[in-house]
Amino acid sequence: MLWNSALVAVGGFFGAIARFGISNWIKQKYPSSFPLATLLINLVGSFLLGYIVGKGWRASWNLLFGTGFMGAFTTFSTFKLENITLHLNKQWKLLILYLGVSYTFGILLAFLGMKAAEM
């Protein structure tokens, strides 16, 4: 039990650091009112998590990379906050675009990641 928690914690540490660095880089490179950084990170994370699950790794690897790293790399709370911000600012087109792309392509990329793992 303690070992499993440690795997999740280590993976989560590195996933959060990766998200922070990549998110800041994207925001500096492509400043916009559209939450591009979170969208790209969540889409890449969807594909990678699908790949990890599709590979059928041992439980310890799933805890480290799936639950830990990918759980911290992707971010549901930031996604929701950005949706609320777009709603409060009455940026309806961006809100609908963000929701549509996030959910549609997130699910599609997770599926494609699982299929890629089978190859």
Residue 74 annotated as binding site: yes
Distances (CA, A) of 101 to 35, 73, 104: 12, 18, 5
Distances (CA, A) of 47 to 14, 32, 81, 107: 18, 24, 22, 9
The rounded distance, in Å, linking the Cα atoms of 58 and 84 is: 38
Residue 71 annotated as binding site: yes
* Known binding-site positions for Na(+): 71, 74
Annotation: binding site:
71, 74
